[in-house]
Amino acid sequence: MSLLTTQNLSVMYGKIRALEGINLTVEPGQIVALVGANGAGKTTLLKTLSGLLTPVSGTIHFEGKEITTASADTRVRSGIAQVPEGRGLFGILSVEDNLLLGAYTRNDHEIHNDLESVYTRFPILHDKRHDYAGTLSGGQQQMVAVGRALMSRPRLLLLDEPSMGLAPIIVEEIFATIRELNNAGTTIFLVEQNARLALKNSHYTYVLENGTIVKEGKSKDLLNDPAIIEAYLGG
Ligand SMILES: Nc1ncnc2c1ncn2[C@@H]1O[C@H](COP(=O)(O)OP(=O)(O)OP(=O)(O)O)[C@@H](O)[C@H]1O
Ligand SMILES: [Mg+2]
């Protein structure tokens, strides 16, 4: 069974159609990328998957269950977590409080252990756990954003432009983390404007233009596709 599917999903902002007829399949265990230019609708699609936007038509299924109109909370509880564009941290809360916010839907006794796991994955966050999140570097803030999402124990992690605004060496570190999380069993849906980075770090890719999917395929095939090279990989 696919982990996530959408059928014919359309989303509007008032009278403006932002997404039209989106059909996606995310297989468990994969990294699936969504690439597209500024304003193509990538963030709109992620927000629709995480429940922050409701589609005007179409359906979304997660692990076989329809979640099209489920609240964002319900989706977090059922195993979907989003790392938003721009990270969405609370700058005047501590690193640790930001991480704990990711566990807001839980009341079990494992939360502390999961916090320790985040600190094991990102030791710098342990060192800085009492600092305001707003004082961290961009890369460290991205670690907090990813760590916060992990605190809900997601089976599907939605990442919106994790490379944005980061130096190349930091981007490499973030992508190494994404690959590690995937190897440990988390399925990843990755939005990226940097198409080369997305194609090199994913199994399957969808290309979004003006709110519709214009191409999809195995990432390694799209890397050699002349039309993709011309339009997205700088010739
Ligand atoms: N709240 C909103 N109200 C009205 N229109 C919106 C709203 N948010 C986004 N849009 C429009 O919807 C379209 C898709 O925007 P979206 O943010 O999903 O694109 P994106 O692919 O994520 O772009 P970027 O690469 O810049 O993040 C754009 O034309 C945008 O102007
Ligand atoms: Mg966006």
pLDDT digits (tens, 9 = 90+) for 200-214: 999 999 999 999 999
Q: Considering the entire predicted model, what is its pTM?
A: 0.96
Give the HSE-up count for residue 103: Cα atoms under 13 Å, Cβ half-sphere: 17
Cβ of 18 less than 6 Å from ligand 1: yes
As a whole number of angstroms, the distance between CA 104 and CA 72 comes to 12
Helices 138-150 and 168-183: angle between axes, nearest 10 degrees: 10
Percent above pLDDT 70 for the chain: 100
Burial class of residue 227, CB neighbours in 10 A (0-12, 13-18, 19+): exposed
How close is the Cα of 145 to the center of ligand 2, in Å? 16
| Residue (of 18, 17, 26, 21) closest to 7 by Cα position | 21
Q: Say if residue 235's pLDDT is above 80.
A: no
As a whole number of angstroms, the distance between CA 113 and CA 202 comes to 29
What is the DSSP secondary structure assignment for residue 56, as one 8-state letter? S
How close is the Cα of 107 to the center of ligand 1, in Å? 35
Cβ of 6 less than 6 Å from ligand 1: no
pLDDT the model gives residue 82: 96
Give the ligand with the smallest distance to the CA of 40: 1
Q: What is the pLDDT of residues 86-101, one digit of tens each?
A: 999 999 999 999 999 9
pLDDT the model gives residue 193: 87
Query: Where is pLDDT greater, at 156 or 232?
Result: 156
All structural domains of the chain with their residue ranges: 4-79+154-232, 88-150
Q: Say if residue 107's pLDDT is above 90.
A: no
| CATH architecture of the domain with range 4-79+154-232 | 3-Layer(aba) Sandwich (3.40)
pLDDT band at 234; cut points 50, 70, 90: confident
Q: What is the pLDDT of residues 50-92, one digit of tens each?
A: 999 999 999 999 999 999 999 999 999 999 999 999 999 999 9
